Chain A
C-alpha cells in the first residue's frame, strides 16, 4: 500500500495567517491526491482534488499544489471557520490511503 506522510500533525495559527500543510507519498502518485477538511463531530468535506483543482463551492483561499510524491495544501488567509483537521488522500492505487491528519488550532 502507498503510505502517505502528512506534516505537521498539528499547528497553531492566528486568523489571517498563511498556513501550509504537506503530504509525501511513499511512491509517485502523479496528481491523484485529494484534500479534505473535517470539523469536530462532522463528516469530512472535499476541498481539492487532482492535487490542485478546487472543489465547487470551496473558497479560493484554499489551494493545492504538487505532483509525484510531494504535495501542499495552502490556506492563504486563515479564517475562523478554517480551524479544523485536514487530511490528504491518494487515489492512485488501491487501497486508497489517507495521511494521518493535521489539526489546525487557534493560537
Chain B
C-alpha cells in the first residue's frame, strides 16, 4: 500500500523559513516524480513544485520561484520542500503527491498524502 506522510508544518512569521518533509512507503521511491500541491483555507488546489525521480530536474510555480526549493533523498524515501521568505499568502495545507509518469512525461497524481498545514502570521 502506497503511503505518503507529510510533516513539518506549523506557524511561522512572515519572512521566516520552514522545511516540509514527505515520507513515502509502499513504492520504489526513486522511480517516481513527486510534487507538492497546496490549498489555501477554503480555496482550490495550486501546484507548487515537482522533482524527477533522480532529483536531477526540478520545476516550480512562478508564485514560489526563488523562495521554495524542492529536493529528495532517495536513500531515505523522503521528499522535501524548503520554504524561505514566507508570506501570508503561502498559508495553506501542503500535500505531497506521487505523479504517474511514462519514461518521458507525467500525466496525473495517483497518490496523495494527507497534508500538513503551514500558517504564516505574525
Do the two shown chains form a genuine complex with each other? no
